[in-house]
Amino acid sequence: MVVDELLNTVVPYCLLKDKNGNEFSLDMYKGTPIILYFYPKDNTSGCTQQACELRDLLSEFKKHKCLVFGVSKDEFKSHENFTSKFDLNFPLLSDSDGVLCEAFGVWKQKSMYGKTYFGIERSTFYIDDSFTIRHIWRKVKVSGHWDIVLKTINSFNK
């Protein structure tokens, strides 16, 4: 079994900009549990299913006082359209420069139909209130993923 080098480490520091151009860092939320999920692209079938399933379960995450952030390399305009179109009730972060993707190790070489390219590996991170990465899901399969995440969070919060 391969152990993920980020597990049980403090969240890597990365500075991004929010949709208004203001500086944004996860450090702003120290002391609050965070679900940080990385997805390949707005408005694609798998990413839409994943976001909508999360939208529908968000109240369950709030019971654990978890903040939820979705991250892709899409620009803010794309995020705004995606959020509006599917009535998403959690923030999406734009990592157009790939700083956060690199820090969390989700920018990977992929292949499809014999062609190789780089893209975001669908991944989710549970960060506890001490700002430590407590659980990592890599190569996420969309269907039922959020139920698995909730079950894991429940086990941490017993």
C-alpha–C-alpha distance, residues 51 and 46, integer Å? 9
Q: Domain holding 137: CATH number? A: 3.40.30.10
**Which residue range(s) make up the domain with 45?**
31-156
The neighbour count for residue 134, using CB atoms within 10 Å, is: 16
DSSP code per residue over 20-82: TS-EE-GGGGTTS-EEEEE-S-TTSHHHHHHHHHHHHHHHHHHHTT-EEEEEES--HHHHHHH
The pLDDT score that the predictor gives to residue 1 is 42
Q: With respect to residue 21, please indicate whether it lies within any of the assigned structural domains.
A: no
C-alpha–C-alpha distance, residues 149 and 151, integer Å? 5
The pLDDT score that the predictor gives to residue 44 is 95
Q: With respect to residue 14, please indicate whether it lies within any of the assigned structural domains.
A: no
Q: With respect to residue 121, please indicate whether it lies within any of the assigned structural domains.
A: yes
**Domains in the chain: how many in total?**
1
Cite the active site residues.
47
Q: Is the pTM of this model over 0.85?
A: yes
Q: With respect to residue 17, please indicate whether it lies within any of the assigned structural domains.
A: no
pLDDT in tens, the chain (158 residues): 455 788 888 998 888 877 777 788 999 999 999 999 999 999 999 999 999 999 999 999 999 999 999 999 999 999 999 999 999 999 999 999 999 999 999 999 888 788 898 999 999 999 999 999 999 999 999 999 999 999 999 998 76
- Strand order of the β-sheet with 34-38 is 92-94, 67-72, 34-38, 123-127, 133-137
Question: What are the residues whose beta carbons fall under 8 Å from the beta carbon of 113, sequence distance 6 or more?
Answer: none
Q: With respect to residue 92, please indicate whether it lies within any of the assigned structural domains.
A: yes
The pLDDT score that the predictor gives to residue 3 is 57
The pLDDT score that the predictor gives to residue 111 is 83
